Every structure is written in C-alpha cells, then in structure tokens.
Structure 1
Amino acid sequence: MNDSPYWAHISSSGQIQVLLDHLNGTACLARSFASSFGAEGQAELAALAHDIGKYSSSFQKRLRGESIQVDHSTAGAAECWKLRQPFAAFAVAGHHSGLPDGGSRTDTLDCATLYGRLKRKERGLLEPYESWKQELSLPEAQIPSFLKQPGPEWVFFTRMLYSCLVDADFLDTEAFMDGQKRMPNTPSMVQLLNRLQNYLSGWFPPKGYLNEQRCKILEQCVQSGEIQSPGLFSLTVPTGGGKTITSLAFAIAHARKYGLRRIIYVIPYTSIIEQTAQKFREVLGEEAVLEHHSNLTYDLEEEANPQTIRLAKATENWDMPVIVTTAVQFFESLYSCRSSQCRKLHNIADSVVIFDEAQMLPIPYLRPCVWAISQLVKNYKVSALLCTATQPALESIFQEFLPGSPIRELCPPGTYSQEAFRRVSFRRLGSLTWEDLATQMNSQRQALCIVNTRKSAQKVYQQLKGNGNFHLSTLMYPDHRRQQLNEIRERLNQGLPCRVVSTSLIEAGVDVDFPMVFRELSGLDSILQAAGRCNREGKKSAEESNVFIFEGEDKAPPLFSTAIGIGKQVMNHYEDIASQAAVHEYFSQLLDLKGKEALDKEQILYLLQNGFFPFRTVAERFHLIDSPTRTIYIPLGKGAELVEELRSGNISQKLFRKLGQYGVSVYEQHFTALENAGDLEILENGAAILLNSDLYSTETGLSLEADNGKALFV
C-alpha cells in the first residue's frame, strides 16, 4: 500500500485514496478515452496535472476536516501553461467549475478567465504545492496533427480533451468511493448484428410489392454499411420506407465492419424519442439501449434495481452501445462548458451518429450544428448519417466545412420504386374560414387537421360536432398529450369516429394513420411531414387518400412567413411537390434567402474563429430551443402530487424532470396575463403553478384566456 501523506479522497467508511494513486488511475482512463482521436499524451498530461494543487498543506488540512477554501485546479493549469500546453491547461482549470473563457492578458486576478486565474499563480496567491515534484513528473505531450494551425478546431479539441479528463476523474473517484469499478455488461456489435438479423428474419421473403421495396432499401443500406468507408452519409427515403430500422441496420453493419464503438441516434423532439427507443429495445434488448432526454427520469430510490442504476449512470457518460437522445442534448453538450454536459463527449468519437429528421435542425443554429458534425467526421472517427424523408440542401455548407468529402447517399435513385411509396394525393383548396374547415371535418368519420397556431387549433376544435373529436397542442402537458394519442390510435385501429385538430407537433414522426389530412399552408417540409400521417400503412390507394392544403383565416405567424412564401412558390412550379427536385429547390431557396448570418444568429462560429478559447461565452449563447416562454405546472393527476412535493420544499433536479411531464410552456404575455389575474403561484426559478384549475380543460389544455377574459394570444 502506498503510504504517501498526500491524500485525494476519504470515503464515507474512512478509507483513504492516496493522491498519486488517483492521478495515475485517472491518467490511465483518460489515455484510453483519448486514443480514438490520437490524444493519449494530452489526456495523460491533463490527468496527471489536474489535482496537483491537492499537494498543498492547506488542501490536506481541508481533507482532514478543517474548514479551508482551496483553489486546487489553477495549480495544475499553471503547470501545463508553463509547459506551453494550452489545451491541457484549460481542461485542468475547468475540471470542477467548468471550462473558462481564455480572456486576455489585461485581465485582473479576480477575473474568472484563464488569464485571470494564471495571474493568481504569478502573484503567489496560490497555496504552495511544490511537493508534487517529489512524487511524479509531467510528461511531454504531442499535439495531434490536425491541430497544427490555430483556429476553431483548437476549441473543439479542448472540449473533447476536457471530456476525457472529467469522465476519467469521475470514474476513478467513483470506483474508490464505491469500492468497485463500473462493469457495463453490454452486448458487442457482433451480438447486436445477430439480434438485428433475427428480428429482420421475418421480413424475408417479403410479402407484397411494398414490402419488397422496403427490403431493397434495407439490403442496399446494409451493403453500403459494409463497403463504404467511414464519413458523411445521407439516407433519403419516403415515409413508410422503414427509415428507422434501415438506418439502424446500416449503423450496426458499418460499426461492426470498421470497429466503431457505439451508435448514437439523434432525434429532433422528445415527442417521438420514446417510440424510437422502445423499438430499438424490442430489436436489440433492454440492456443495449440508453434513452437520454429531459422527459425521462431514472428512479434511484433504495428499491431501484441494478438495471435502472446502470442506465442512470450511463446518462452521465453515454457508455452504452446504442444511445437515443435529442438534438438539444447532443448539440448543446458539444457547445457546453460544464463538466456534467461535456463528460459524455469523448464517447461520441468512434461512433455512428444518425440525425433523424435532419431537416428539423433549427435554422438559426444550422451552421454551428453542421460545423460540429463536420468536426466529428473529420477528426474524431465519426460516421454521420443524415436521415430524413425530406433531405435538406446542406451540401454547400458541408462542402465548406468538409471540402473533398461529399455526402454519400445510401439509397441512390433506382434502388427502389418511388411510385410504391406514393400513398397520397395533394390537393389545394384555397382559402377556408375556420367554420368551413370544421364543416368539412364534421363530414368525415376519420380525419386529421393541422394548423399553424395553438389559438387556431382551439377555434377549429370548438366547432367540431359529435363524438370522437380530439385536440392536440403544446397547451396540453406532455402526459396529457400522450394519453390523448393513445386513445386516438385505439379509435383509428377500431374504425371508430376520430377527428383530430392539432398543431405541427403531430408531424414529427408521430405514428398515426388517417385516411384524410387537412394541412394549413406552411413550409413544404411541414406539408410533406403532415402527409406522412395520411394512409401511413398504405391500406388505400393514393388517389383516395387526400392531403388537402388550405389557407386559414388568420394571418400566418411571422416565424412561418418566409417558409410559407417559398413553399407556395415551389408548389406553383412543381406538379409533384413530394419529388426530390421540389424538396431540394425549397430548401435551397430557404437557406439562400436566409443568408449566412441567419444560419448562425448568435455568431458562434465567428466567436470560435476570433475569440481566445471563448468556452463560457459560446455556451451562454448556444441554446437550440430559443423561444421566450415560461413554464406553468398543472396540478392534475400525478402532477398534483409532484406540485405538493415542490411546495413542501423537497426541491431537486429529479423532481423538476418529473414535473416536466405536467408543464405547459407559454409566451411571456400569456404568462403575465395569468399572473396579473391571480391565476399563478410564481416559483423562485421563474416558473409557476396554475392555481385556477378551471383554466385547464381535459379537452384542449390550458386556456388562452385569463379569468378576466382579456388575454388572447397566438
């Protein structure tokens, strides 16, 4: 046993972890994590340096019970800086408090920037820690070849290096505190391939012409996965082409062939993530799939089983074969400065990353998102797959960031019959009043209507007659919407009356099948997504399965005006608005009209190019969901119990995640009207609890009127 007087940690049982053992253990893990992108030396340096500030007598006294504040992170950062190793210096400086901005040489010692913190060392304000030199030496560390020139790649690499350090630090500390290392008993890619093949065995020989075309797509993608070298891919197949399973099959075949470690499936909205994760668990087994998003909480109470504990821990660093997550979780982590979000990043390297519904990447952050994907493909052994039925025109942006690496389409024209997947006919109705629209809906036994605003959805719904009418919008809390969708699917399956008025939330991969769809004029991508809810199972001919496009009586929201204008123009020029030519023209015009500045409205890439390691500044600006809304918690059902728990003072991140299933996001003016009417109990975090239960309808959700009747908002 090492009898060094310098300790790193003391467990709850009184066991002592010697500091040198912790540094060596962390270095061993960090080296292995960084091996996939050639940064073993950098990771080892950062790991050995990260806690050398604990060699100070003050820290040792603190560890032994004295109440002393000690800055131990700056010490290791200063030593790395002295060795002219800026990447390791930033990683070490931020391993507890988060990556700092670099700042400038004029920063004062009270600044939180790296320059400010280094001045504390220069002025002798750190506790002496020179004893570290008696126990270890810091190694020379080569810089990966792709970092020879200064630029944004330096910032991206530092965040990846930081990920290796903080995950290794957490894991080594956890193993000591728990008395054992994590032992993730997860299946290999070979095993996953066997399970997938077993699942797909029922697809062959295909029954019917449509299934024959689906199998052609599947076989083409699996073959491409085995013969195409890692890089950037697209999968453009129509709705009903089996995109989800086909993309998974490509990913597993590709990962097995090229020794990639995991598959990460990135989905735009939480509304469809659960059904995708459940399908993957059905195919690959519960122990292979991690579902990670804001609406899912793993219960870690005393009765939690080992599987739940394992999954909860895996959300910290994504150490699982298959990850199903959201675009918000994925991209905000890539631009974060916090250890809790960055810890998983090194496990993105050496992976296949599938971006489902790629056309839904938010336009204001499109360039930073594409740049991040390009970095992963270029330098971190990632194969990225853009997977959608309506492929956006992203080629020019990728060519800018990945010159000489074209997007390779997995299913080029001729692979399958496009006509086999034509399941709807598009018809334009012109302008309709809400009364006219409701009349047409009332004449149908089963029909879906999608409008552009929540207010419009409520107006149309209120004019529906008879039974079997449903309303869906984000004015209903998520658990309420889930219950409604379950009932809708049941009625559709049984052939019962089912007329639904919804906002666009139902378009994003929600698995419903209506014989007829009405869609208010919007962007072409939204219209085609709406069409995916019509005749989804192909039980009727395209001629009798109509998608009616109409213009509603309310003025289009400014947010949609550009997309609507371009959509109208493209629809006027193309007879087949679902053709790849029409879709490409739509997205090309949309991105061209927006211009470069609109595709990076927070100037993220400018900051990366011109700032000095601006980690915190970028993290503060990069928020994929950027809408000025406030949350109102609805105390109904289990939500009532959770609200009472909140009021009792039992506040935790876990509680707020559960409450998210009972929260409604509203615009500021709606929130203010409800607050002024006395209908809300305001919480410290800016959210609120609904006090007036009469304002929440089991049919339409939160009312757009405060109890004084004066607050009507879009």
Structure 2
Amino acid sequence: MTWWPGSLTGKKSHPDKCLVDHLEGVAALAKRLAQTHGVLDKADIEKLFDMSLTHDLAKARDKWQRYLEGKGEGTPHSESSSFFTLDLTHDVMAAELVRCHHGSLKNIEDVKSFWVNDDFKLCDIVSKIKEILPEWEPSLNDATWEKINNDLLFEFKTDENFWLRYRALLSYFIAADRMDALGVSGFDPTPLRFKQPSFDQRNDLDKWRQEVRVECLDNAKCRGEPGVYTLTLPTGTGKTTIGLEIAHMWAKKHGYQSIIYALPFISITEQNAEVARRLLGEDAVQEDHSMIKRGGDDDTPSPLKRMEALFRYWHLPVVITTMAHLWEVLYGDRVNSTINFHQLGKSVVILDEPQSIQAEHWAGLGKTLHLVSKKFKTAFILMTATQPHIAESATEIAPCACQKPISNRYHCKILREELSLGKLPDVLNHHLPLKEPSGLIVANTRREALKIHKIMCEMQEKQQISRGPVLFLSTWMTPAHRRRTLKKLRDLEKEDHPRFLVSTQVVEAGVDLDFHWVARDEGPLDSVIQVAGRCNRHGKRNVGMVLVVRLKNDRGKRFSRMVYDSILLQAMEEVTSEISEFEERQIGDVVGKYYERVSGSKKGSGLWDDIVKGKWATLPPLYAKERPALVTLVVEAEDSNVGELVDFLIKEEWNLKNIEEKKSFLREIQQHAVEIPEKLLLKCREKSSSILSSKNPLRQINNSDMWFLSKEAVSILYDPVTGFTPPEEEDDDINGCFV
C-alpha cells in the first residue's frame, strides 16, 4: 500500500496540519492510549491503528483543500474515508465507526441497510477510492465483497461483548483524533498522592465516625479486585472521604490508573471536588460538569486543557463528574460522548447516591457494571445510605456494625392525610419543635417551595418560629446565588445562629447542613431519608424530629404526583402504611422492605436488551421524562460583571480560532443564569416592558435561546432571596422539580 508521499504530498487535514502528519499522529496516539488502558487485545489494537490511518483520507480531495484555504465550502469526508477503512480491514463495523466519527452511532439494522443494499455496489467503492487516491490498490474483490455482504446479512450477531468492543474502539479513535487536531503529542499521567485527613474527636459521634472509617478501610484491604462493590453507610459518616480513601488504597495496591467519582447533581460536585483536592492534591483533580468555570489565568492553555474545555476529556487521575455525564459516557450515541469511555478501564469508579438513577434502569445498569468490571478491569463502588437493588452479587465493603448509626439522631413521623398548603402552619406547629433556632422544609416543586417560603415568613411575623433568616434554595437561583446562600447557611450554623431554609430537592444529596428539625413533602423513601440526614446531622443535640407530610395544590393534586414515578410513591405508601414512624437505627429494615416492593413492581427500561440487540442509537436516556422547551435567563446582579460579558459576547466576531474563548465566556455567564420554561418568556417580557430604560430590560442574546435580564428588571423578575419569580400563578407540572 503506497498512498504517501504520492497524492498526499502537500495535502492538509486542518489549516495548520499536514494530512499525513495527522493520520500518523492519530494512529500513534490511539495505539498508545490502547496500550495504556489495556482494554483491547492485539488484533483490535491493529484494527484501531488501521482505522486511524484511513479516517480522514477523503480530505485529500481538492474541494477540501480549497475549503481549508478559505476558497469554498467544506465537503463531507467521513463516509468516503470509511471506504478506505473497509478496504484495508474488511471489517464493516470498523468502517462504520469511521463513517460516523463526526456524528452519532447508528442502530445495527441501519448499519446493515447502508452497507448492504441494491444501490450500493463494490464498483462504487472502488471508483470513489480511485478518485481520491489513484495510487491506492484496492484489496476488495467480488469474492471478498460477497463474503462481507453474506456475513453482514446472515452471520452478523450482536451481544454485550460486541457492543463493548466497538464502543471501546470508537472511544480510543475519537480521543486520539481530537487530541491530534488540538496538538496533543503525548501525555504523562499525574501521580496520585494522598494526604492523611484529620478528624475532629470532640464528641461520641466524631469518635464513631473515625471508628467507621477505620473499620471500612480495614475491610477494604482484602478487597479491591475488579468487580462491583457497595458501601452502605448512614448519612453524616463522611462517605465522600471514606470512598476516596478506599479508591486510593485500591489504586496503589491493584494498579488502577484513575478514580472517577460521579454525583447526582451539579450543585454538589464543587463541594466534593474540594474534598478530593484536599486528600489527593490540587493538581490531580479534574472537576467536570457543564457549569464548571475553566481556564483561569492561563492565557495559553495546554493542548490537554483545550481537550478538557472543548470535549470534557478526562486527563487527570481523579475526576469529579455528574451521574448524567457518566451515563452519556456509557450509553450516549453522539461519538464525542464516547471520548472518555476507555478511561473506565483500570479505574475505580464511585457512584455516589446511585438510587437517584431511575429504578427502571437499575437492572440494565447493574449488568453493564459487571460487564465493564470484568472486561475493563474496573472496580465500581455504589455508595449511599439507602442502597438500591442495582447490581446482583455486589460485595459490601462496610461491616454490618457500621451500617447503622451509633445512636438515633432523629425520629421520623409520616402523616398520611392530604393537606393543603394553608393547613401547613398548624400541622408544623403540632408536630415539630418550631421554637428551636433552626429548621428545614423541602418541597417537591419550585412553585410549591416559593409558596412555603412565603408561609414561613408569615409564621415568623406571627412569632410562630424563632427570629432568624428564612433562606431559600432551588434551581431558579443562579449557581452564584446558590453558592452565596449555602455559604451564609454554613456561617450561621458555625456560629450556632438561628436560621431556616426552604428548599427543593437540591438540598437532598451531599449538602452538609444541620438543622434542629426537618419537614418534607412526601416523596420516595430514599429521598425522605436523604433529607432526614440534615436533622441533628452531627448528633450534638437530643433526638431531632423529621416530619413527612402529604401536600396538595389548590386543585387537589398532590405535588409529589407531579414529580415522582407512581411505582416509587406506591411502594412508599405500602411501607409506611405498616411503619408510619421509625428511628434512624431502623432505616436499614425499612429501606429493605421499600426496595423489595420497588424491584417487584418496576418494569425494566430495555437498556440491556437494546445493548444486546444493537440498538445503540436509541438507548434510553438517564432522565426519560420529557422536558419542556427551556430558555436561559442571564441575571445581571448588582455585584457582577455579567453585563459586560454579555456585551462582549454580542459584539465579538466568533470563529473557529476563538471558539474556546467563546465557550469560556459562556461558562462564566452560566454562573449567573437560570433555565426557565419558554412558555413563561412572553409573560416575563410583558412584565418587564413597564420599565423605562435606554435598552430593552429583557433582551435576546444573539438570536440564541439565551435572554439577558438587566439590573433594572431584576427587581421585578428575580428576588434577592428566592431567585426567579414566575410572572403568573400556575401549578407545577413534572418539570417543576429539581433535576
């Protein structure tokens, strides 16, 4: 095969890169990645090498070369390049991965329809190859073409191993391609270090936490081979620290190359990333989510930093990410979603609060984790206080004695009567010690939370609760606003000052706050227990009180029904009809009964069947419920420069050369933004139109789905305590919850 120097002399793949250099660079990087992670066998590594060498050969066309010189429009190159891959490998799936390398994966039936049909002939492939590279001597002939067709039509079988193999091939290939395009020529892994954490020993609970930590670490010493593990510990035991310590121990002992930590919500990734940095070093931890501020003071980021910014590529040994992104890495159909899939190889992967994943996915996810652990040599840890039935035959790390708290920090009472919001003050007053200086109420929808916040303020005016700030948390507050509120709450808690909080489910997982009493609108049992963990969290007081109420709107519809799966609520009702009150030390028994009912009632999402059958383009998303059309509202606060950022975004001419700078600006702007239903936009514009201003107080940004709310209009549509104020009274639907 002699296709360079020949026709490729002087040809470019990118404006600043020779085509030959790019193809050879991608092939070398892909091979090195594959050898580093050890997922592929020797034959597949050679196949990966051939895919990489051929993936952009169609860029040799004169039309593409003129496009790079700015003299015409681009032309598709992936499909024509895939013909070279097929000719070199005689592997349709390898060719298919090249064909889709700037798009998305296809279902296997669609793959067959493209490669085997009456209009697609061998002579067409040979003709296209010769047109692009006359020197290329095709190896395909009538006999080999017939065999490829027959194999694809009659012998082609898909299963879970087939899926894993080709997703891994695609992951290495896509990562290497994007790396070389950005100038990554090599990579040296950052070593994992560990700083011994310090622990307070001020009371019996602190001593118990330390005992739990020591026992879990001792138990983990004789484990850690590739497999699926659970770490089931009560709330407030320091699971984040214990989980990271175990992962680090296993990495040292068993040679795992990275630690990947997935959380259910963006709002807590920052907090857990700080814990990881303290334990494992600032330069070893990569915080990865859609709202992360990247870049910093470095005007000339390294190529790997650019990979991180553009493709969310994991290049540091410790990654703190979201469950939603990990789901995309595992199952997403966009090829860029697979870019980190190979990183799961030889890693410890922690899934924090895995019960947040919809129950219909549990069986399929569990089978996936077992498959990946076996083939990729990965250790998965499912870490929570309320362990769901996800992975059969998983190994528990925590000793039985550690799975219950040392004492009852709270007592939980569940009321079964449906209540209107108007009756809430009397019910709270009857069942809770409202004169205590701190309390938390968690609602199921944002509008419900706003109404409860108003009720709490009125109760304070009537001296029904202690004097102190009544604060608020929901995703209708900008990330910057939420961070300020959490800091204020922690400062008040540190000084033991009065404080009250009304929140949506944003406060459930991983938010380290402590209150004298807690109330929650009904929800799945695991959500109730997560919130209960904020009551007397540090065990400094006598037994706290947790109250679960069943609230309904003015139309008689329960708020919980607008948010949660009916099967989860039914399981909750069945369990609490038998056990309407329980102590914290009884949680294990109550949760066991709850998950038995959930598992017995829930139908699977078809995730595993779709993997096996090759329906890779239509694997179910993590959150199956449809969301309404949303727009982004950028809020100009008095103390922010977001207005200047928006003006620059509008005025600047953006192109491929400064696209990274644009993304950096957008990430900064998102710190001051909220998402609202598009249907509210017209009412917002009507409400803000009364404001006299030289500029429209609510205006669209560059014909995008982003809208800028100026300082003049903030007082009308954005409250300094509760955030976005919807312009009309309207009941929440399914999308009113925090997700």
**How many residue pairs were aligned?**
665
Q: 1:34 to 1:249 in 2, by over 3 A?
A: closer
Q: Say if 2:647 is the partner of 1:644.
A: yes
Q: Which residue of 1 aligns with 2:53?
A: 48
Q: Distance in 2 between matches of 1:328 and 1:530?
A: 21
Shift, 1:17, TM fit? 5.3
Please identify, of 469-478 and 500-509, the stretch whose mean Cα deviation from structure 2 is larger.
469-478
**Equivalent AA in structure 2 for residue 583 of structure 1:** V
- Checking the alignment, whether the CA contact within 8 Å between 2:476 and 2:724 is kept in structure 1 is yes
Q: 1:678 to 1:711 in 2, by over 3 A?
A: farther
Q: Say if 2:38 is the partner of 1:35.
A: yes
Q: What do the CA deviations read for 1:587-610 (whole angstroms, capped 9, x no partner)?
A: 2212332322xxx2xx54444344
Q: Which residue of 1 aligns with 2:546?
A: 547
Q: Distance in 1 between matches of 2:186 and 2:111?
A: 43
Q: 1:671 to 1:371 in 2, by over 3 A?
A: farther
Q: 1:90 aligns with which of 96, 100, 114?
A: 96
Shift, 1:452, TM fit? 2.1
Q: Which residue of 2 aligns with 1:25?
A: 28
Q: Secondary structure at the match of 1:343?
A: helix
Shift, 1:450, TM fit? 1.5
**Equivalent AA in structure 2 for residue 214 of structure 1:** R
Q: Distance in 2 between matches of 1:117 and 1:156?
A: 28
- Checking the alignment, whether the CA contact within 8 Å between 2:105 and 2:334 is kept in structure 1 is yes
Q: Say if 2:435 is the partner of 1:443.
A: yes
Please identify, of 51-60 and 635-644, the stretch whose mean Cα deviation from structure 2 is larger.
51-60
Q: Which residue of 2 aligns with 1:424?
A: 410
Q: Distance in 2 between matches of 1:379 and 1:223?
A: 27
Q: What do the CA deviations read for 1:67-108 (whole angstroms, capped 9, x no partner)?
A: 475544334423443544233222222233444454548857
Which runs of structure 2 are paired with 1:80-229 in the superposition (5 Å)?
A: 80-82=85-87, 83-104=89-110, 107=113, 121-122=124-125, 124-125=127-128, 128-130=131-133, 133=136, 150-175=158-183, 181-184=185-188, 186-188=190-192, 192=193, 195-196=194-195, 199-200=196-197, 202-203=198-199, 209-228=204-223, 229=225
Q: Secondary structure at the match of 1:480?
A: helix
Q: Distance in 1 between matches of 2:117 and 2:263?
A: 35
Q: Which residue of 1 aligns with 2:482?
A: 481
- Checking the alignment, whether the CA contact within 8 Å between 2:23 and 2:56 is kept in structure 1 is no
**Equivalent AA in structure 2 for residue 636 of structure 1:** E
- Checking the alignment, whether the CA contact within 8 Å between 1:635 and 1:641 is kept in structure 2 is no
- Checking the alignment, whether the CA contact within 8 Å between 1:352 and 1:384 is kept in structure 2 is yes
- Checking the alignment, whether the CA contact within 8 Å between 2:632 and 2:673 is kept in structure 1 is yes
- Checking the alignment, whether the CA contact within 8 Å between 1:273 and 1:325 is kept in structure 2 is yes
- Checking the alignment, whether the CA contact within 8 Å between 1:317 and 1:345 is kept in structure 2 is no
- Checking the alignment, whether the CA contact within 8 Å between 2:14 and 2:68 is kept in structure 1 is no
Q: 1:174 to 1:451 in 2, by over 3 A?
A: closer
Q: Distance in 1 between matches of 2:590 and 2:250?
A: 31
Shift, 1:562, TM fit? 4.2
- Checking the alignment, whether the CA contact within 8 Å between 1:632 and 1:687 is kept in structure 2 is yes
Shift, 1:298, TM fit? 0.8
Q: Secondary structure at the match of 2:603?
A: helix
Q: Which residue of 2 aligns with 1:411?
A: 398
Shift, 1:274, TM fit? 0.5
Q: Distance in 1 between matches of 2:407 and 2:364?
A: 34
Q: Secondary structure at the match of 2:50?
A: helix
Q: 1:503 to 1:57 in 2, by over 3 A?
A: closer
Q: 2:281 aligns with which of 260, 274, 285?
A: 285
**Equivalent AA in structure 2 for residue 174 of structure 1:** L
Q: Secondary structure at the match of 2:229?
A: strand
The CA RMSD over aligned residues, in Å, is: 3.8
Q: Which residue of 1 aligns with 2:144?
A: none
- Checking the alignment, whether the CA contact within 8 Å between 1:25 and 1:172 is kept in structure 2 is no
Q: Which residue of 2 aligns with 1:520?
A: 521
Q: 2:722 aligns with which of 700, 705, 710?
A: 700
Q: Distance in 2 between matches of 1:313 and 1:114?
A: 41
Q: 1:272 aligns with which of 262, 268, 271?
A: 268
Q: 1:9 to 1:301 in 2, by over 3 A?
A: farther
- Checking the alignment, whether the CA contact within 8 Å between 2:22 and 2:181 is kept in structure 1 is no
Please identify, of 227-236 and 7-16, the stretch whose mean Cα deviation from structure 2 is larger.
7-16
Q: What do the CA deviations read for 1:112-171 (whole angstroms, capped 9, x no partner)?
A: x9999888944835662455658999xxxxxxxxx9962243233222211101212233
Shift, 1:456, TM fit? 2.4
Shift, 1:573, TM fit? 2.6
Q: Distance in 2 between matches of 1:653 and 1:493?
A: 37
Shift, 1:669, TM fit? 4.8
Q: 1:115 to 1:366 in 2, by over 3 A?
A: farther
Uncovered stretches (5+) of structure 1, i.e. residues with no partner: 138-146, 400-405
Q: Which residue of 1 aligns with 2:692?
A: none
Q: Distance in 2 between matches of 1:78 and 1:445?
A: 71
**Equivalent AA in structure 2 for residue 298 of structure 1:** R
Q: What do the CA deviations read for 1:171-220 (whole angstroms, capped 9, x no partner)?
A: 33434xxxx735446114xxx2xx24xx23x459x675434433343334
Q: What do the CA deviations read for 1:310-335 (whole angstroms, capped 9, x no partner)?
A: 79469643121111000111111222
Q: 1:582 to 1:671 in 2, by over 3 A?
A: farther
TM-score by length of 1: 0.82
Q: What do the CA deviations read for 1:499-541 (whole angstroms, capped 9, x no partner)?
A: 1111221111111111211222222111111111111122123
Q: Secondary structure at the match of 2:574?
A: helix
Q: 1:632 to 1:78 in 2, by over 3 A?
A: closer
Q: Distance in 2 between matches of 1:114 and 1:491?
A: 70
- Checking the alignment, whether the CA contact within 8 Å between 2:304 and 2:315 is kept in structure 1 is no
Q: Secondary structure at the match of 1:666?
A: strand
Please identify, of 287-296 and 337-346, the stretch whose mean Cα deviation from structure 2 is larger.
337-346
Q: Which residue of 1 aligns with 2:668?
A: 658
Shift, 1:273, TM fit? 0.7
Q: Distance in 2 between matches of 1:434 and 1:44?
A: 66
- Checking the alignment, whether the CA contact within 8 Å between 2:7 and 2:133 is kept in structure 1 is no
Uncovered stretches (5+) of structure 2, i.e. residues with no partner: 141-154, 461-466, 655-661, 690-697, 734-739
**Equivalent AA in structure 2 for residue 86 of structure 1:** V
Shift, 1:491, TM fit? 1.3
Please identify, of 330-339 and 246-255, the stretch whose mean Cα deviation from structure 2 is larger.
330-339
Q: What do the CA deviations read for 1:29-83 (whole angstroms, capped 9, x no partner)?
A: 3542563343423322322332344556666676677647554433442344354
Q: Secondary structure at the match of 1:317?
A: coil
Q: Secondary structure at the match of 2:127?
A: coil
Q: 1:408 to 1:52 in 2, by over 3 A?
A: same
Aligned-residue sequence identity (percent) comes to: 24
Q: Distance in 1 between matches of 2:185 and 2:624?
A: 35
Which runs of structure 2 are paired with 1:366-377 in the superposition (5 Å)?
A: 366-377=362-373
Shift, 1:584, TM fit? 1.8
Q: Which residue of 1 aligns with 2:611?
A: 608
Q: 1:486 to 1:263 in 2, by over 3 A?
A: same
